[in-house]
Structures are given as C-alpha cells and as structure tokens.
Amino acid sequence: MRELLQSKIHKATVTEANLDYIGSCTIDEDLLDKVDLWDGQKILIVSNTSGARLETYVIKGQRGSGIIAINGAAAHQIKKGEEVIIISFQLSDKPVEPKCIYVDQNNKFVKYL
C-alpha cells in the first residue's frame, strides 16, 4: 500500500481564521463535491503565503459561500487572506486519479488541473 494524492484545492484564499473554535477547516460544500472530500476527512493545508503546513480535518461549509476557514489553534499559523493549498491523500495498492482543482480569489471553481 502507498499513500497517494487523492485531491487538491489549489490557490484557495482563507476567508476566516477563528481561534475560538475546536479545530478543523471549514470548506464550501461546492468545493468538497468537486474534489470528493468528506466531512471529517483528514487534510494537509499548505500556506503559499507563510510556508506553514498543518494537518486537520474538514468541516462542511455553506454551499456557494466560498468559505475557507482555519479554526482553532491552526489559526495561529495560517491567517485570513493567506493563499493555501488543501490536500488529501489515500492509501491504495494501485495508481489513483486525483481530483485537483484551481479556484479564483473568491474560492470559486475555475478549472480542473
């Protein structure tokens, strides 16, 4: 078994950073559908702005809202306005066709990568 790229949301903009929250990353449900991410799924978030990297899990956000919210202690590392890449992996014994998307500055789907 190998851990392979499952999905990626490329160049998303953090819309909120909430310290008073119990962990996670809230993501617009439209984006979750495009890359096949589930509520509660583990993700890696990489900031193109600061270089910070952290692991957390997905919370489903309001569909069409464009929300990308960094919640809890992670908000110390990644702030509102930062550009991020959100990545998930999966274990497989065969190659995987990842679902990767590019979004605009309002976190709206632009194209598949």
List C-alpha distances in Å: 105 to 16, 17, 73, 94: 14, 16, 24, 35
Query: 58: exposed, middle or buried (C-beta count within 10 Å: 0-12, 13-18, 19+)?
Result: buried
Q: Which amino acid is at 113?
A: L
User: Which of 7, 21, 24, 47 does the annotation list as catalytic?
Assistant: 24
Q: Is 65 tagged catalytic? A: no
Residue 23's nearest CA partner among 67, 89, 75 is 75
User: Which of 7, 21, 57, 65 does the annotation list as catalytic?
Assistant: 57
Specify whether the CB–CB gap between 88 and 57 falls below 8 A: no
Q: Is 21 tagged catalytic? A: no
Residues annotated as catalytic (active site), given as ranges = 24, 57
